[in-house]
Amino acid sequence: MSAQPVRPALLQEPVGDPSAGRVRCRTCERRCVLRPGETGWCGTRRNQDGILVTLIYGIVSSLSANPIEKKPLYHFYPGTVALTSGSWSCNFACPWCQNWEISKRLPNGGQFYSPEAFVAEAIRYGCQGTSISFNEPTLSLEWALDVFRLARQAGLYNTFVTNGYMTDEALELLVEAGLDGMNVDVKGDADAVRKYCRADVEVVWGNLRRARELGVWVEITTLVIPGVNDERGGLAGIAARIAGELGPDTPWHLTRYYPAYRFAAPPTPVETLERAHQEALNAGLRYVYIGNVPGHPAESTYCPSCGETVIRRWGLWRVQNALREGCCPACGTPIVGRW
């Protein structure tokens, strides 16, 4: 691979007296204002002599061809494979991060992939799409836009696995470039997200609504963590908001937590996930899943009208897809998704 190019950050603006060289980053909703020499909250953008530059354009810390079910995206071209990349760092402070080895580290080496090389690699691996994931993909905005345009030209789909904290401008640019699907983490209610992630959960909800308006396929994941977001009312509240603001056909993944990074709460009891699953169905959601419990019946997709199993899964793999032109084979009910 060639050497990393120096790239200005796409979304930036000068602040105050031009002679001071201060600049605001408009990539994520932290909207950091930086003096010359300063680096933003996420550590991936630096004010270099009055110009904001990205430190991770094309820098890949992790690369693998993954089933789309791993994102998880269950209603988005099931059984396909996406070449998935991650870089470094994050704009959230979650102390339980499952990918902390890269998300809690500032840019530190990695392999440079030009957008052309990445898309060529996806084709070589026989993938049907791309995914930017593992750490927060919004931080790779400039590279993602270039990758998505090329991937779309090559007939590949494009996905993000994100905390949903990008600015409106960033989201609209991603969609314009070819973003097809997103899995967005809703990490808890306002208090939990403020306390543990140091962020405003209303930004995430706003981006979920906007992504749907722009035609992006959206699924939601909540990592259910004892003592953080497992309260009966809190999870039921998320279910009600999904149904009311995004629609009852929006898939919601309730994922089992295991201790990681700086958080030592015990693994989530399966009974907690099953209770939340039932509450979500009671709230009107039609497609609710339990994740990180391989073999659980709630990994599979069922027809909301007759209960027929239409997509059977085990762990990260689609085992059987019985859909007929996107409909239940037993009763003909359309199953919402991208098939």
Tell me whether residue 113 is in a domain.
Answer: yes
pLDDT of residue 100: 95
22: Cα within 13 Å, side-chain hemisphere: 9
pLDDT of residue 3: 52
| Same-domain pairing of 221 and 191 | yes
| Same-domain pairing of 73 and 125 | yes
CB–CB of 11/25 below 8 Å? Answer: yes
Alpha helices in 214-328 (DSSP H): 232-241, 270-282
| Same-domain pairing of 144 and 173 | yes
| Same-domain pairing of 92 and 74 | yes
CA separation, residue 300 to residues 117, 242, 335 (Å): 35, 20, 13
Residue range 261-268: average pLDDT?
96
116: Cα within 13 Å, side-chain hemisphere: 2
Number of structural domains the chain divides into: 2
List pLDDT tens digits, range 93-112.
Answer: 999 999 999 999 999 889 99
Q: Let me know how many helices (H) and strands (E) the chain has, helices first.
A: 8, 19
List pLDDT tens digits, range 137-193.
Answer: 999 999 999 999 999 999 999 999 999 999 999 999 999 999 999 999 999 999 999
Tell me whether residue 328 is in a domain.
Answer: no
Asked whether the predicted pLDDT for residue 24 surpasses 90, the reply is yes
| Same-domain pairing of 118 and 146 | yes
**CATH, residue 178:** 3.20.20.70
How many residues does the structure list for the chain? 339
| Same-domain pairing of 72 and 46 | no
Residue range 275-304: average pLDDT?
97
- Structural domain harbouring 227: 59-299
Taking alpha carbons only, the member of 292, 290, 129, 207 closest to residue 301 is: 290
Phi, psi of 290 (to 5 degrees): -110, 125
| Same-domain pairing of 191 and 218 | yes
| Same-domain pairing of 112 and 14 | no
Asked whether the predicted pLDDT for residue 1 surpasses 50, the reply is no
Radius of gyration of the chain (CA): 20
| Same-domain pairing of 95 and 232 | yes
Tell me whether residue 322 is in a domain.
Answer: no
| Same-domain pairing of 13 and 135 | no
| Same-domain pairing of 231 and 87 | yes
Q: What is the pTM of this model?
A: 0.96
| Same-domain pairing of 106 and 146 | yes
